[in-house]
Structures are given as C-alpha cells and as structure tokens.
A and B are shown apart, each in its own frame.
Chain A
Amino acid sequence: MNDENELKLRSSLMVSFGTQPRSRSILGMVGIALKMLMGDPVKYFGLVFGIGFSTLLMSQQASIFVGLLTWGANPVLDVRQAQVWVMDPRVKQPDQGQAISDQSLYRVRSVDGVAWAVPYARSAATVKTMQGNIAAVTLVGVDNQSMVGLPEENLANSMSAIRGRNAAILDGNTQHLIWADGRDPIGQVVEINDNRVVVTGLTSSLTNFSGLPTLYMKYSDAIAITPPERNKLSFVLVEPKPGVTPEDLAERISEVTGLKALTRQQFAAAGTQFIIENTGIPISFGAAIGLGILVAVVITALTLAMFVAENLKNFGALKAIGVTNRQILVMVLSQALLVGFIGYGIGIGGTAAFLYFGQADPSLRGFKALGEIVGGSALLVMIIVLGSAYVSVRKVLKLDPAIVFRG
C-alpha cells in the first residue's frame, strides 16, 4: 500500500466522519472499509481467489461425492411411480441380485393397504452387437402392463416401444458404451444369451454406480432371456392405497410376508449407505473437501490477518478520532464478507459451470448441482471469513489509539 493511497483513505475517512449523520455513518464506515480493501489489490485478489478456489474445491468435490453416493441410490430413484420396494431380506442395495419367488408378488398384493404391486427384475447381462462388440449391461424387466420402473424422460420412441416381442429400450446416455461410433441405436439388433433383442426406443435413466448401460425390457422377456435360475423376481414395487403411509405399509409387508420392505427413500439411503460402507469414496472425497476447507481457512485467516496488521495504523487513526471498537468490527466484517461473497461467487460459479457444461460429457452427467451444497458451502465460507475476521480484528480492538502518534 503506497503512501498516496493511504493519504486519500485517511482524508476520506475524515470527510465521511465529519459530514455524515450517525445513521449513515455505519454505511460510510463500510464504504471506507471496502475502499481500504480494494485499495490493496494484491491482498484483495489474494483473499478473493483463495476463498474462490477453496469454495470451488469444496463444492465441486462435494458435488462429485454426493453424486457418486447418489449413483448407488439412482436405480431406486429412477423408479418414481412406486413408494415401497420389497426384496429378499439379505438385499442391501439395488444392484445386489437375490431374487425372490414369483409367488411373492401375489403375497405382497394380498397385504392390506397395497393398492398395486408389480414385478421388477434387475440383473446383469452381456450384450453382443451385430458389429461384434460385447458390452455388459444392466437388464431391467418392468411389468408388462404398467411399465412401472421405465423412466419416462427423453423417450426417443413411445413407451409402447417396449411392448414388442424381445423389444428393449436403452438408456440413451450410456449408448456409447455399446456403440462407440455414435450410430442411432434404435432398430439395432443385439444378442443377449443367444436371444435376439431389438432396441426400439431410448430413455434417460439416472447414472448408476456400476456405470453400465441399462436396458429395459418387459418383465416376461427379461426373465425369459436370462439364464435359468430358481427365481428371477428381484423386487416387487408397491404403491400404498390412499391414506396409507409408505412406512406403515413397508412395515406391514415385512411382517406379513417375511420379506424386506423399504420405502423408496429408505432403500435409496441404503444404496448410498452401501457405497459409504464398502468403498474408499468417503475417505478420498472427505480428504479433498477437508483440504478445501483447510485452504479456505488458512488463506483467509492469514491474508486477512496480514491485511489488518498492515492497516493497523489506519485503524489506530480511526480509533484516535473516536471510532468505536464496534464500528471497527463492522468494518472488518464487511471487508471479510465482501471477499467471502466474491470468492464464494467465483467458486460456486465455477462448480456450477463445471456441472452445467459437464452434463454434455456422459461420464459427468451423473453429478448434480444440489441446493444443499450451494447453501452449505455459502454457510461454510461465511463462517470461515467471519471467524478469520474476528480473529484478525482482535488486535485492533485491543489497540491503543496513541500508537498513531508514536509513529
């Protein structure tokens, strides 16, 4: 900070004090504080970009982390029509194949409070294309009649495209994993377990943890083309009657049938929980997010402390002319909030841009910009800057105004 600047600052300080009435003096003080801040571009930009970078790190990593966790829940969240999932008691997450007897469907339907229940099969399969490629897919069998479980978005063909014999609707977001050459999958003939399957439509399903393309077929077709097993029914999807809560119904179904019944939210949470418990994702992402927070704290606190220390003389002058500690606190906090706001804006904007433009890339499509992360990182940044500001300003508050005159 050069002397000319300092001089200007001081004179403006005097001016605003002398002329502004009391009510506007706080605003004047804030204005002076902000001028003080912007007058020192190195620290100003240092603070802004330090906070911006750490916000970016935190929010982007948190988004990816939450996104990855949601991948475990997405097979459940993809089914929007049913509130309760019924499965084998040993099943912990949606991609775990432990089929139940087909008779379970009728047992579940017979439970009081069930409006409807439909079968849902989920299994792994290998697709062979006519071009000679082999790709692993998740094969989903949805109820022939109601098609519950088939995502309705972005259907390149009507839902009834699934009704044909051995017709399949493919998740259009992952079609490149089967046909890398970008051809239109509709009308393509593939082979699954020596059965001819025709892709007749495209849908958009949420990204799942396995990352495999999802192929939707009629339940009867899906279980007919998979290798013989004792049971093939993976889940029963249930909708409660009006007036019955999903939680009550799930409990009742478990009690009556001996199967595990979870509400959609419970099962989605179980899918997430499975990833948390069984992968290194929480640790790696937790470390990244923690580093983001650490960077934010360190940079903000150090820079702010440095800034306050350098302006100690100015603050002393202010105190000498009768500026109270409270007013100084407001000044420093406003400085901190401004850099916090700008830094947060840059960081969160970067994350938003990353997620928004990343949607074009299929591998980034599964990550979501969540309000919780936007709000949470705002809160975190606010706490960090306010905390740093408070720590830095303590020296000013204890400052003896006479220091100015001691030169």
Chain B
Amino acid sequence: MRTVPITARITMPASARKGEVVTVRVLVRHPMERAANAPGVAPTPRRILHAFRVTYGGEEVFRMDLSPGVTANPYVEFTTVATESGTLVFEWHEDGGAIYRREARLDVA
C-alpha cells in the first residue's frame, strides 16, 4: 500500500454533543478517468477512485463504491452520530492500488 498526496477538502464541526448528528462533506480533486478506447482517440486506461471509506474511532461509519459513471471531483455528504472524541479517517482507493488518506478530529462533550 502506498499513500500519495491528493487535494481533498473535508468540512465538519470540530466538536459536537454526544448523540448529535454531524454532517460531513468531502470534496476530492480527481479526474475519475473512465477509460477511452475509440477510433481517433488516444487509448486511456481507466483510473478512478473506486471506493471511499470512512472510519470513526476505528469503526467504519461510511462506505461507498464509485463507478466509472461518477463525475470527476466527487463530492460526498453524509451524516454520522457523535459518540466519543476520536479521529475520522477518510480513505479513497484508486485503480492501481493507491490509497489516499485524510484525517479529521471530532471532540465530543
């Protein structure tokens, strides 16, 4: 597994009350190349982010499989329940095996 830089933006509150529903929005810069193979077009292999996973305190709270039909620069919004102070880990899995990872801290009072 290798982890390489990627432009990803995450927005969520830094703190929440226990039991509160927290909205998380994630925007990542990626061409989501769905492959091209047609007369007169330079052949391009598929290279998309095919999976997006989020863990919170080590437990998976969001998972999404992305297909070649998903737009470039995928934008995802989901909610989770604030249970305890901890780290949310965001992982994008790219064709070819690269994994891009980001983290965000949530303090729960």
> Are A and B part of the same complex?
no
A interface residues (Cβ-Cβ under 8 A, vs B)? none
